[in-house]
Chains A and B, each alone.
Chain A
Amino acid sequence: MLNIPLKDYFRETRIFNNRVIIVAVIIAVLSLLLVVRLVWLQIFSHRHYETLSQANRIRPIPIPPPRGLILDRNGVVLAQNYPVYTLEVVPEQVDDMNTLLEQLGELVQLTETDLKSFRKQLKERPRFEALTLRANLTDEEAARVAVKRPYLYGVEVQARLQRHYPLGGLGVHAIGYVGRISEADLERLDKAAYRGMRHVGRLGLEATYEKELLGRVGFEKMETNAHGRALRALERVAPVAGKNLQLHLDAKLQAVAEHALGKRRGAVVAIEPATGAVLAFVSTPTYDPNPFVNGIDPDTYRGLLDDPDKPLINRAINGQYAPGSTIKAFMGLAALETDKIDVTKPVACGGAYNLPGSSHQFRDWKKGGHGAVTLRDAIAQSCDVYFYKLAVAMQIDAMKTFLAPFGFGKRTGIDLPAESEGILPSPAWKEARGLKWLPGETVITGIGQGPILVTPTQLASAMSALANHGTRLRPTMVRALADPATGHSRELKAPAYPALPLKDKSHLGTVIEYLTDVAHSPRGTAYGIGHNAPYRIAGKTGTAQVKGIAQGAKYSEHATPERFRDHALFISFAPVENPQVAVAVIVENGGHGSSAAAPIARKVMDYVILAKNLPVATPAATENTE
């Protein structure tokens, strides 16, 4: 049976037995420690713990702190707490739950959802804890229960604070919402810090700044009778309210931008270049966050999920679009910086470009071409051929190296959760996915098509770098955290990213001059919004193709179904001399950047620069919030 040599067998036995003896000693020591501890607790400290046990009529009851408010830059309340009556039941005090629920059903309206959620809590929570049966009782319902309460053992009507978003869907993608704490949350959260609390930040700023908004739970030591029922409060440690978030966001500007987008799908991000402050952060369609607070009913939620316009998607940070011609604002600077082409010489644009030795035609948006164009003309008129040639001269790796410092292909670091990265492609990036980089992809990357993808926030942030002398600050929603008790507030400063590595800083001024032509030269693609502006705008239009157009075929807006129409983009900053705002606008399937996106940016810039006090849009007044 033993197929190992006898000598080894004895050696092994010796080793094993030695180890067993050591282990036995350790077990003996630890057991002794345990026995000593038991003797200490049960004999020497018995008196002490006996007293504590007798006095254990005192139960700490948590008092949840009020959650911090969210305010816009002018103090307009975006998220607040308001008292509601909730109907609560303590299961251990109830003799017959079904009868009780029937009785309560006659006093207040209980939906199937209420009952389902209650039964779920019944299974998960301790039996001595008060469980919410219904929130938002009307005064009448609260009164009806209060009258019958002496006969309803275990039922309580409590005034609790509930999160409310007074402006409804306005800025919902920035603010986010809170939701009921779930089982999964409990595993992740510090249970002690959330004692007595029912909600936690789920999305947007409510999630990012959860720690600051939360506050600290207080407690009240309640004396109880022998059955554990509360008799009177002995000691109270007050809760500490959460910090208020003061945003850079301007609710009026937000309303202006949302209104300007109207029923279309799209996004607007406005940033103050010198500070990184996010002044407006729009993604449309919006939706009302209030139903999410106490658990949205499945039908409404399905409706939002199945809506073809996908309102739940945060297009401003998660919408990833081809930048189209807006990339030329940055490629224009690249043309000045690189020694691969001579910007002093005009380039012939015949309406199409061929790679050497290929018959594939890369077309210009303008049939017949722009003739001989300088860089200045190429930017103002958005000539594609110029930039095809620039891209081929530079090659993709140099383009990537140049564009990366603008923040493309990386999260901007805005203080919102789950931002998308976009894609700044390169041959290495494609090879990592098992694909080969095609020469044609270099060509179309020059005009912002192909694999390159950006988010609206990235575009606005990149534009702010041009406006702010080459230094980009991290986009930041929150200006300060204010302590409501002391009134003391702590300012949050946005950190700066490394400055653009430019060989010649004067190139920045040059490209801004060319971008100003876009809006102010009669041949500029955004002349429509620039010619009557009382300040000077630097901008770039863009039209991003959604559907490929066959060689030789012609794109016609009217003949194309809406979902396949081009996305319209516009990026800009103004005033050119002293930039106050950088804006990125995208209108999904909106057609041309000049006609669909630029006017929206103009409205945003007008508001910021001219302080046009447009009427405050209440949720009912804006079309999208409902």
Chain B
Amino acid sequence: MLERLHLDRNLFYALALLAFLSLVVVYSASARDNAVALGHIGRLALGFAILVVVAQVRPENLERWSPYVFGAALIVLALVLVIGTSAKGAARWLNLGFVRFQPSELMKLALPMMLAWFFARDGLPPRYTRLGIAFLLIAVPTALIIKQPDLGTALLVLGTGFLLMFLAGMSWRIIVPIGLLLAAAAPIAWGFMHDYQRNRVLTLFDPEADPLGTGYHTIQSMIAVGSGGIYGKGWLNSSQAHLEYLPESSTDFIFAVFSEEFGLLGSLLLVGLYIFIIVRGMMIAFLAQSTYNRLLAGGLSLSFFLHVFVNMGMVTGILPIVGIPLPILSYGGTSIVTLMAAFGILMSIQTHRKIVEY
């Protein structure tokens, strides 16, 4: 049945389990709010529907459409700067009348598609001129997203782009100098950061320094995780979330709630589940038969890992606080749609393989 629908069995079951866990913890984090839970079920269902639809599209078609998808994503991204509606101050949303959507999320799909298409036009490893163009293809959407301003998403898009260039076989002679350059540029970037952004980095080293401000979130999040212990406090018993010590407990800090309620065993299960999904994605990339399919599958899987790691790193206090939700587990709209579309692409790549060639 799953095969007939072009779905990958392993990936599908792992995603279904993740969606179930997501429902369980969102219900708890929202203080048993039925409306939130129902809304979440609706979004998950929509996500799976999109996954199934995307999985039917042949990768050859995806490849052909890539430049157009990228172009469209760029246009809406530019549009959002002009006519976007703001949530919490930043103009990140585009209101289409019946639905509001976040173009930067679309770019998370469109950029890997575009880069994979672009590198597949020529042999690997890419030549310098092509790398230069690829760099521009990454820089433009990144700049547009920074302008919104949404630094977290911009960094993720940038990271995804570089990972794709890395997979394509970008020469070490470029990677090493860029790495050194980035290290040298850090102090300069520091100068350009807003005060609140600097504080986020500083509190990482000394969360107690500002117990009322930025450090507060990190401390409360670590208290939640640490107090969970090995077995956790049990479902619906996250005191950190229910007493409102945890900010954004249903979205960005959902992993803290999960760890508090289900302990180390729960969090290891969750980390394991995420790793399983990423490994499966990388396997699909490994088995894929065309350059485009490979690069896209690899890029999407790595982008997924990047999201998971940045969020979990933030919750456990090893990375600064950036507003990035935990994929699938967090409560939230557009991100589930793009994520599931990405998994649909992975499944399509896996299930449309030609077993016999020539």
Closest residue of chain A to B309 (Cβ to Cβ) is: A30
Within 8 A of B (CB), among A18-71: 19-20, 23-24, 27, 30-31, 33-35, 37-39, 41-43, 45-46, 48-50, 52-53, 56, 59-60, 62
Within 8 A of A (CB), among B84-119: 86, 88-90
> Does B194 contact A190, Cβ atoms closer than 8 Å?
yes
> Does B89 contact A42, Cβ atoms closer than 8 Å?
no
B114 to nearest A CB, angstroms? 18
> Does B268 contact A38, Cβ atoms closer than 8 Å?
yes
> Does A19 contact B166, Cβ atoms closer than 8 Å?
yes
- Given known contacts A45-B226, A217-B212, A219-B212, A23 and B264 CB-to-CB distance under 8 angstroms: no
> Does A1 contact B212, Cβ atoms closer than 8 Å?
no
Please, what's the 1-or-0 string for A8-23, where 1 marks a CB less than 8 Å from any CB in chain B? 1001100111011001
A52 to B212, CA, bound (A): 16
Give every chain B residue within 8 A of A224 (Cβ-Cβ): 243
Within 8 A of A (CB), among B195-210: 195-196, 199, 210
> Does B243 contact A38, Cβ atoms closer than 8 Å?
no
Q: Within 8 Å of chain A (Cβ to Cβ): is B225?
A: yes
A45 to B302, CA, bound (A): 31
Closest residue of chain A to B123 (Cβ to Cβ) is: A8
> Does A195 contact B357, Cβ atoms closer than 8 Å?
no
- Given known contacts A33-B318, A38-B271, A17 and B211 CB-to-CB distance under 8 angstroms: no
- Given known contacts A34-B316, A190-B196, A219-B212, A56 and B239 CB-to-CB distance under 8 angstroms: yes
- Given known contacts A19-B167, A20-B167, A20-B282, A56 and B290 CB-to-CB distance under 8 angstroms: no
> Does A23 contact B229, Cβ atoms closer than 8 Å?
no
A307 to nearest B CB, angstroms? 30
Give every chain A residue within 8 A of B305 (Cβ-Cβ): 27
Q: Within 8 Å of chain A (Cβ to Cβ): is B313?
A: yes
B145 to nearest A CB, angstroms? 14
Give every chain B residue within 8 A of A52 (Cβ-Cβ): 223, 226-227
Count of inter-chain pairs, beta carbons less than 8 A:
164
> Does A41 contact B196, Cβ atoms closer than 8 Å?
no
Chain B contact residues: helix, strand, loop or mixed: helix
- Given known contacts A20-B282, A24-B282, A49 and B223 CB-to-CB distance under 8 angstroms: yes
A19 to B168, CA, bound (A): 8
A30 to B307, CA, bound (A): 13
Closest residue of chain B to A128 (Cβ to Cβ) is: B244
Q: Within 8 Å of chain B (Cβ to Cβ): is A191?
A: yes
A92 to B244, CA, bound (A): 10
Q: Within 8 Å of chain A (Cβ to Cβ): is B259?
A: yes
Q: Within 8 Å of chain A (Cβ to Cβ): is B267?
A: yes
Closest residue of chain A to B243 (Cβ to Cβ) is: A228
- Given known contacts A24-B282, A37-B318, A184-B86, A43 and B169 CB-to-CB distance under 8 angstroms: no
> Does A42 contact B228, Cβ atoms closer than 8 Å?
yes
Q: Within 8 Å of chain A (Cβ to Cβ): is B47?
A: no
> Does B285 contact A42, Cβ atoms closer than 8 Å?
no
- Select one of A2, A16, A56, A128 contacting B167, CB under 8 A: A16
A220 to B40, CA, bound (A): 37
- Given known contacts A4-B123, A27-B278, A35-B271, A41 and B226 CB-to-CB distance under 8 angstroms: yes
> Does A187 contact B88, Cβ atoms closer than 8 Å?
yes
> Does A37 contact B316, Cβ atoms closer than 8 Å?
yes
A314 to B310, CA, bound (A): 48
Central interface residue in A20, A50, A60, A186, by most chain B CB within 10 Å? A20
Q: Within 8 Å of chain B (Cβ to Cβ): is A234?
A: no
A56 to B199, CA, bound (A): 23
Q: Within 8 Å of chain B (Cβ to Cβ): is A126?
A: yes
Give every chain B residue within 8 A of A43 (Cβ-Cβ): 229-230, 264
A441 to nearest B CB, angstroms? 36
> Does B264 contact A39, Cβ atoms closer than 8 Å?
yes
A37 to B317, CA, bound (A): 9
Q: Within 8 Å of chain B (Cβ to Cβ): is A127?
A: yes
Q: Within 8 Å of chain A (Cβ to Cβ): is B250?
A: no
Q: Within 8 Å of chain A (Cβ to Cβ): is B190?
A: no
> Does B244 contact A187, Cβ atoms closer than 8 Å?
no
Q: Within 8 Å of chain B (Cβ to Cβ): is A193?
A: yes
- Select one of A12, A35, A45, A50 contacting B268, CB under 8 A: A35
Closest residue of chain A to B228 (Cβ to Cβ) is: A42
Closest residue of chain B to A57 (Cβ to Cβ) is: B243
A503 to B251, CA, bound (A): 70
- Given known contacts A1-B354, A20-B298, A48 and B167 CB-to-CB distance under 8 angstroms: no
- Given known contacts A43-B230, A52-B223, A60 and B313 CB-to-CB distance under 8 angstroms: no
Please, what's the 1-or-0 string for B169-184, where 1 marks a CB less than 8 Å from any CB in chain A? 1000000000000000
A429 to nearest B CB, angstroms? 29
- Select one of A39, A126, A192 contacting B210, CB under 8 A: A192
Q: Within 8 Å of chain A (Cβ to Cβ): is B133?
A: no
Closest residue of chain B to A17 (Cβ to Cβ) is: B286
Q: Within 8 Å of chain A (Cβ to Cβ): is B291?
A: yes
B306 to nearest A CB, angstroms? 10
Please, what's the 1-or-0 string for B301-322, where 1 marks a CB less than 8 Å from any CB in chain A? 0100100010011001110000
A214 to nearest B CB, angstroms? 12
Nearest 7 pairs between A and B by C-beta?
A192-B213, A49-B226, A187-B89, A53-B227, A15-B169, A42-B264, A12-B124
Given contacts A23-B163, A190-B196, 4 further A-B contacts (CB under 8 A): A42-B228, A42-B267, A53-B223, A187-B149
15 contacts between A and B (CB under 8 A): A12-B124, A34-B271, A34-B312, A37-B316, A37-B318, A42-B229, A42-B263, A49-B222, A49-B223, A53-B226, A53-B227, A124-B88, A184-B89, A186-B88, A189-B196
* Interface residues of B, Cβ cutoff 8 Å to A: 86, 88-90, 123-125, 149, 163, 166-169, 194-196, 199, 210-214, 216, 220, 222-230, 239-240, 243-245, 259, 263-264, 267-268, 271, 275, 278, 282, 285-286, 290-291, 294-295, 298, 302, 305, 309, 312-313, 316-318, 354, 357
* Interface residues of A, Cβ cutoff 8 Å to B: 1-2, 4, 8, 11-12, 15-17, 19-20, 23-24, 27, 30-31, 33-35, 37-39, 41-43, 45-46, 48-50, 52-53, 56, 59-60, 62, 92, 124, 126-128, 183-193, 195, 217, 219, 224, 226-228
